[in-house]
Chains A and B, each alone.
Chain A
Amino acid sequence: MIISDLGQELAQLGLGLLRALPFMIGYVLLILLFALVWRLVKRALTPRRDFTSLKTVTFGDESAVVSNTVASVISVVVVFLLWGAFTGSALLPRFLHAPGPFIGQGSFTYTVEAADGRRDDARVDVTVYDKDGVVDPAAVAPGEGIAKDDSIALQAYRSKLLLWDANDEVTRKDGARIVAIDGKPVGPGGEVETAIGRVAVTDKGTLNVVPAQGMQMEEIWLPAPEAVWHRLITIWRDGYQNVTLAEHLSYSLFRVVVGFLLGAIVGIPLGYAMGLSDWFRGWFDPIVEFMRPVPPLALIPLVIIWAGIGEQGKIILLFLAALWIMAIAARSGVSGVKISKVHAAYSLGASKVQILRHVIIPNSLPEIFTGARVAMGVCWGTVVAAELVAAEKGIGKMIVAAAKFQSTDIVIMGIILIGVIGFGIDLLMRWAERILVPWKGKG
């Protein structure tokens, strides 16, 4: 039962992947294309030979592979280009846009066969307008024959049913039915590609007009980059739902910083105790080892039950998220001290307290910093998730609220902000690490 269900899911997934495959291949080709272009440009520009260019073995030589800045820049630019191209961004010249939806006028013909076998063709004039400009259906002369010409107007990306027999001499009630569209034979349930898009015959015999959608994304799925940017500016100025963006962000950051600091203040001494005393180690090992694999997100429901959706609950959650990481980092920092360093300190006359202060603690700092970086990352992820579930303010809260109103531009803006801030936190931690523990990895 479960197996067959899962099998179906897997098949669905496979199908989706298969559909995405051409796009992925296209993207890879794009990467290779730029690589080739850059190689040619570089060869043309710089005859310079550095050490790496003298190496014949670069594949598998880790030191020969450093991140290529040009590739990084192009990569980011391409992301925005693709985004703009597939949303019809006004920032890009038209020729870079992916094919857009059909907008304008066109027509198709349908062929009716009456119950007694008579046949006649009729023309349908189609007007497709975009969401900003509603247009009425064009007036048409009905024309000759048993089937009369029709007209229809509809919005891009939408479909519309056409009751073709409303003005015809023979109707579906009389047994008349559509046998061809644009001359191509079709029956109920079938469809035909026409100049304006797909035209399908429904099971009941009416026509369903689906104008061509092109390859661009509709705004409610993915807004153009400039729309997101404008949204950022207006929200920055006016706030969203009476809360300013700065307030949303500072609530989230406040929770992370306080939760992390509490976690570090408790976790580091706990880790030291575990690293220095077998009793503490034995006492806390089961607890830490059990809590470590529990993702903090899994604690959200419990924390909400216990502490509600206020600040306390969230800070407890982040405290727990940081606590185990910091405790484990401190513990391994202590147990990672080389015994020869401790021995050296002892035979230089240091007391136990002095060894703790001058050897064990400094020796554990690099590990603790690594732990702190991980903990900050986890806390940032956890706070956003917790706010998605329940909060009054916070960047996560802002994007779920926006999602309820289909404000995709705000959702995307929020996601980008979350990413940028997460990245900024990591940069900050790395910078602090470089300044405060320059001996990291040099032991």
Chain B
Amino acid sequence: MSGLAIENISMRFDLPGGASVQALKDVSLTLAPGELLSVLGPSGCGKTTLLNIVAGFLAPTEGRIVLNGHEVKGPDAERGMVFQQGALFEWMNVRENVGFGPSMKGMPAAEKRQIVDHLLEVVGLKDFKEKAVYELSGGMQQRVALARCLANDPDVILMDEPLGALDALTREKMQSLVLKLWKETGKTIILITHSVEEALLLGERLLVMAPRPGRIHKEYRLPFAELGVGKDLRQVKKHPDFARTREEILGMIWDMEEEIMGQPGAGE
């Protein structure tokens, strides 16, 4: 069986002083190869925790992650990760950053160069190969991060608010890029975001999570990602269903936030 299975994941953090936080409770989900899932939810509902468990940085207190038939035990190149910011290696230039995964595998230089050149071309940075990463703008840095992740040819790409720190315009361009890469490479992608619009645009499937304990609140299947591939995303936003779904989800998240605010300090 191929694809990614998240099976009855629970996560409890023990805090100093005996208290504990139930960050996730009994979360289950399966993703077929090539599916694009976006995850939304109020702050603190366990999105990052879930992603870290899938990536293998954290071991869940209960449940397991199964990828292509084998259980996930730790981080691995089959599951690539794109962080919000600051995860590039500033002591390497753009080319070395993108080639990091292949280098670690000991790939021959010629082959590596081909991959790096190709990916930099795809993300539109072929003229910046030798630049230091700290000389690039925030949007360019995220493109490097995407290319670096793709260079390893992972089965699953995990993104934790990858576009969160970008300005609106850059963000829109990057959203198109993510869609394009998804379609061209056929990767399974999980993308966490705080923007409902982004979740709608970039989610074939959309997961809304609820806090305390972190769990799946509602799941959607959406047409917008398919519609958006290679198109102007502003056109997609004019789709009648788009505004309706957006309002529905916004309302849902608002209610959850209100609930949290209404009972300060509560929770496990």
Contacts and interface: CB of A to CB of B under 8 A. Distances in A.
Partners in one complex: yes
Nearest to B81: A347
Contacts of B86: 338, 340-341, 443
27 contacts: A340-B87, A341-B86, A343-B83, A343-B87, A344-B81, A345-B89, A346-B57, A347-B55, A347-B76, A347-B77, A348-B101, A348-B104, A348-B148, A348-B152, A349-B77, A349-B104, A349-B152, A350-B100, A358-B89, A363-B91, A437-B91, A438-B132, A439-B132, A439-B134, A442-B90, A442-B132, A443-B90
Given A358-B100, A439-B134, A346 B87 contact: no
B70 to A, nearest CB: 16
A442 B131 CA distance: 14
Nearest to B134: A442
Nearest to B160: A340
Interface in A278-324: none
A362 B158 CA distance: 26
A145 B91 CA distance: 97
Given A362-B91, A439-B132, A443-B90, A344 B104 contact: no
B140 to A, nearest CB: 14
A362 B89 contact: yes
A271 to B, nearest CB: 18
Given A348-B80, A349-B104, A343 B91 contact: no
A359 B101 CA distance: 13
Contacts of A341: 86-87, 89
A340 B89 CA distance: 10
A396 B184 CA distance: 71
Contacts of A350: 100, 104
Contacts of A349: 76-77, 101, 104-105, 152
Given A346-B74, A347-B158, 19 more contacts: A341-B86, A343-B57, A344-B83, A344-B87, A344-B148, A346-B56, A347-B55, A348-B100, A348-B101, A348-B148, A349-B76, A349-B104, A349-B152, A358-B89, A358-B104, A438-B132, A439-B132, A443-B86, A443-B134
Contacts of A362: 89, 91
Nearest to A338: B86
A250 interface: no
Interface string A196-229: 0000000000000000000000000000000000
B75 interface: yes
A341 B133 CA distance: 14
A351 interface: yes
Contacts of A347: 55-56, 75-77, 79-81, 154, 158
* Closest 10 A/B residue pairs (Cβ): A349-B77, A442-B134, A346-B75, A362-B91, A348-B101, A439-B90, A340-B87, A347-B81, A344-B87, A350-B104
A338 B87 CA distance: 8
A354 interface: yes
A365 interface: yes
Contacts of A348: 77, 80, 100-101, 104, 148-149, 152
A250 B259 CA distance: 73
A439 B91 CA distance: 6
A343 B75 contact: yes
- State which size class the interface on A falls in: 20 to 34
Interface in A349-397: 349-351, 354, 358-359, 362-363, 365
Interface residues of B, number: 28
Nearest to B83: A340
A348 B55 CA distance: 11
A195 B150 CA distance: 93
B55 A343 contact: yes
A365 B101 CA distance: 22
Contacts of A439: 90-91, 132, 134
A338 B86 CA distance: 8
Nearest to B96: A358
Interface string B119-139: 000000000000010100000
A349 B151 CA distance: 11
B156 to A, nearest CB: 10
B170 to A, nearest CB: 20
Contacts of B56: 346-347
Interface string B83-110: 1001111110000000011001100000
B80 A359 contact: no
Interface in B37-89: 55-57, 74-77, 79-81, 83, 86-89
Interface string B161-175: 000000000000000
A439 B136 CA distance: 13
A442 B148 CA distance: 19
A442 B134 CA distance: 6
A437 B134 CA distance: 13
Interface string A330-342: 0000000010110
Contacts of A346: 56-57, 74-75
A30 B224 CA distance: 73
B150 to A, nearest CB: 11
A442 B89 CA distance: 10
Contacts of A363: 89, 91
A351 B83 CA distance: 20
B85 to A, nearest CB: 8
Contacts of A437: 91
Contacts of B104: 345, 348-351, 354, 358
Contact of A343 (B81, B101, B105): B81
Interface string A408-443: 000000000000000000000000000001110011
B55 A365 contact: no
A350 B105 CA distance: 8
A347 B149 CA distance: 9
Which of B75, B149, B152 is most buried by chain A, counting CB atoms within 10 A of its CB?
A: B75
B51 to A, nearest CB: 10
Which of B76, B77, B104 is most buried by chain A, counting CB atoms within 10 A of its CB?
A: B104
